[in-house]
Amino acid sequence: MDKLVTARNVSKRFGDLRAVDGVSFEIEKGRIMGLIGPNGAGKTTLLKAILGLTDCDGELSVMGLDPFRQRRELMQNICFIADVAVLPRWIRVSQLLDFVGSVHPTFSRDKAEQMLARTKVAERRDAKVRELSKGMVAQLHLSIIAAIDAKLLVLDEPTLGLDIVFRKEFYANLLTDYFDEERTILVTTHQVEEIENIMTDVMFINEGRIILNRTMDSLSDDYVELLTSGERADKARNMGPIAERDVFGKKVMLFESVDRQSLSELGELHTPSVADLFVAKVKGVSA
Amino acid sequence: MIANQLALIRREIWEHRSVYVTPIAIAVIVTLVSVAGMVTVSAFDRELELAIFGASSIAGDAERRAALTVFFFGTSWVFLLALAILISFYALDSLYAERKDKSILFWRSLPVTDAETVLSKLLMAIVVIPLLTVVAIVATHLVNLLISSVWLVLKGGDAGHLIWGSVPLFDNWTAALIFTLAGAVWMSPFIGWFLLVSAYAKRSPMLLAIMPLAVIPLIEWIFFRSAVFAELVFGRGGMLPLFRGLDLERYFDEDRMRMDEGAVSLLAHLDIAGFLGSPSLWAGLLACGLFTTGAVFLRRYRGEV
């Protein structure tokens, strides 16, 4: 079973609002899927459905389980960090490790200790979570999650509010300590650029719908950015860019499935950043 | 399942340290007060010089036993009053705090069901917290008796006979254990109600829990001129069907004391069969079960925090 998550026509309504509106997608084993969308796009709702925290319409299967109805089985093989601040503030570091160890069948205390040993949390084993800095709490949470032998890790804005050093470190640790071809990660973040280099797949969601879903490798095949100016810009504009913006008096145009040969005669070609592509796609939808 | 339950209960004790700190604090206070009492009494009254428990002015063994029982009974009530408050606050906080600080998202990321979690909180309120209080009661008695013994020996008295031989320790402690647990089970509909409110309240669970208890009797009085609800709710504490002819006055009546020497037993007054056979007990447990199930469903199905 290589398909870890399968969604067919999944919807979730809150009254008249369609938070998730008939989405279909698959996530394969061993991938790092970035789920990117503006605030209120339905990211968190979709993740909650995958984690079995909320019910939804349509067909949703996670590791062959119905996440909402088979939550306990699901939680044996899935981990999530919903927010940086959710570790209970009253608990001591050592108590937290004890507790997870006693309720989680696949938690490895040794592995968690090894990871913690490399952080400042190591010296503060008897400290309560409320006495740790936000960055240390995130390190602690990641150490616990990474020490659980789970098939799917779901991260919802895991680095929100952390400073840049911790954010970099968080993703570096994630790759070295957690990820391998047997494991799969689904991650959402506002800071697209910080996961751009680690994700293998990307999915854009806007107003409850998926507007892009593909592998990072194929992005550069289909999307290209042209840096041009003057007359050549007018010619390029006739080729139907999906977005255009000004940079230092020059025009940057983004094209989808275009003949690169003829485009290359009009200026410099670049692979667009995921952030630029995202902005172009979201604007394109709402325009 | 049982391993999870133990881990969950241990976690509850870590989180709510007041469940053992409070009984310990009361134990210390009770001990200090009774020591102060001993010192004061012996300073003013030479007759009672041998300290309260071994006082030579108390003539017979039966009186001494009764005096000790009354003392035990009296100090236990302080613990039980605190216990009621402790359980109420615990239950109201148990499913509210984790939503308030969002840690519920972490707890729910572990392979523990909502039913298991809520059950652990119910067991805390009905069994664990009362047991901790019973332990504190027993420890307080022991410490007090030890201090009295030392005092008595220093004054040249025979502590072995006057104190340890006179105190129906096992009887008193077993009665305290049964009474405390039975009381918690008897009051379980309130505990269930508090858990439900705790799982539901967006803010101030205390207010939300108490409001219906005040409003419903009022409405009932206005429309039906009756007070059935009020009697059921507020009268329940006084209706615990565990006692059989308990008459505390007899412990203060010397003549009657002499007549039934040896019968000074709290345990003899407990009517366990009557308690277990009481329909009111089972109705209360049913109500507790319904409320608790409601709390499980709220935690499970309310998608938001």
- State pLDDT tens for residues B129-161: 999 999 999 999 888 888 878 877 877 777 777
> Residue B238, Cβ neighbours under 10 Å: how many?
6
Q: How far is A181 from chain B (nearest CA, A)?
A: 23
Tell me what the pLDDT averaged over chain A comes to. Answer: 87
**Neighboring chain A residues of B106 at a CB cutoff of 8 Å:** 82, 86-88, 141
Q: Are residues A203 and A242 in the same domain?
A: no
Q: Are residues A238 and A198 in the same domain?
A: no
Q: Is residue A134 located within the same domain as residue A246?
A: no
Residue range B170-209, pLDDT digits in tens: 888 898 899 999 999 999 999 999 999 999 999 899 999 9
Residue B196 has a pLDDT of 97
Q: Which residue type, as a one-letter code, is found at position A152?
A: L
Residue of A nearest to B114 (CA): A72
Mean confidence (pLDDT) of chain B: 84
- Residues 6 or more apart from B196 whose CB is under 8 A from it? B291, B292, B294, B295, B298
Q: Is the CB of B110 less than 8 angstroms away from the CB of A80?
A: no
List CB contacts (< 8 A) between B303 and chain A: 48, 53-55
Which chain A residues are within 8 Å of B105, Cβ to Cβ? 82-83, 86
pLDDT above 60 for B251: no
Are residues A222 and A142 part of one domain?
Answer: no
Q: Identify the pLDDT of residue B60.
A: 64
Q: Per-residue pLDDT averaged across B102-106, rounded? A: 90
* Higher pLDDT among residues B149 and B70, named by residue: B149
Please say if the pLDDT value at position B234 is more than 70.
yes
Instruction: Identify the top-confidence range among A37-41, A140-144, A231-235, A283-287.
Output: A140-144
What was the pLDDT predicted at A107? 92
Query: Tokens at residue A34, please?
Result: 């970035």
> Rounded to a whole number, what is the distance in Å from the CA of B27 to chain A's nearest CA?
26
Residues of chain A whose C-beta is under 8 A from some C-beta in B?
48, 51, 53-55, 71-73, 75-76, 79-83, 85-92, 95, 99-100, 102-105, 141
Q: Which domain holds residue B243?
A: 2-301
One domain for residues A203 and A234: no
> Closest residue of B to A105, CA-based?
B111
Calculate what percentage of chain B has a pLDDT beyond 70: 82
Contacts of B12 in chain A (CB under 8 A): none
Whether the per-residue pLDDT at A16 is higher than 70: the answer is yes
**CA distance, residue B16 to nearest chain A CA (Å):** 9
The distance of B210 to chain A (nearest Cα, Å) reads: 27
Q: What is the mean pLDDT of residues A158-168?
A: 81
> Same structural domain for residues A136 and A236?
no
Nearest CA in chain A to B99: A86
How close is the nearest chain B Cα to the Cα of A82, in Å? 7
Rounded to an integer, what distance in angstroms lies between the CA atom of residue A199 and that of residue A195?
A: 6
Q: Give the domain CATH number at A257.
A: 3.30.70
| DSSP character string of B179-247 | HHHHHHHHTHHHHHHHHHHHHH-SS-HHHHHHHHHHHHHHHHHHHHS--HHHHHHHSGGGG-TTBSS--
- Domain termination site, one of A154, A187, A207: A207
Phi, psi at A11, each rounded to 5°: -135, 150
Domain count, chain A: 2
Please check the confidence at residue B261 and state whether its pLDDT lies above 90. no
In the block, residue with structure tokens 């402690």: B173
Which of B103, B111, B301 is opposite residue A103, by nearest beta carbon?
B111
Q: How confident is the model over A49-72, as a mean pLDDT?
A: 90
A213 inside domain: no
Evaluate whether ipTM surpasses 0.95. Answer: no
Residue A41 counted as domain residue: yes
Output the six-digit token pair for A284. Answer: 């394109």
- For residue A212, being part of any structural domain is answered with no
- Considering A153, A188, A207, which residue would you say is the last residue of a domain? A207
At what angle are helices B129-154 and B18-44 packed, to 10 degrees?
20
For residues A200 and A225, membership in a common domain is answered with: no
Q: What is the mean pLDDT of residues B121-126?
A: 97
pLDDT of residue A189: 83
Q: Sorting pLDDT into bands at 50, 70 and 90, what band is A283? A: confident
Choosing from A207, A231, A259, the residue where a domain stops is A207
Which of A212-216, A256-260, B49-53, B153-157 is least confident? Answer: B49-53
Q: Structural domain tally of chain B?
A: 1
Is B252's pLDDT higher than 70? no
More confident residue, A109 or B74: A109
Residue B177 · residue B167 · CB < 8 Å? no
The CATH number linked to A127 is 3.40.50.300
Query: Domain residues for A280?
Result: 218-286
Residues in chain B closer than 8 A to A105 (CB atoms): 111
In this prediction, residue A161 carries a pLDDT of 76
Q: Is a pLDDT exceeding 60 seen at residue A126?
A: yes
Query: Of B105, B113, B301, which is closest to A82 when you measure between CB atoms?
Result: B105
Render pLDDT for B6-51 as a digit per residue (tens, 0 to 9): 999 999 999 999 999 999 999 999 889 888 877 776 666 555 444 4
The answer to whether residue A232 scores a pLDDT higher than 90 is no
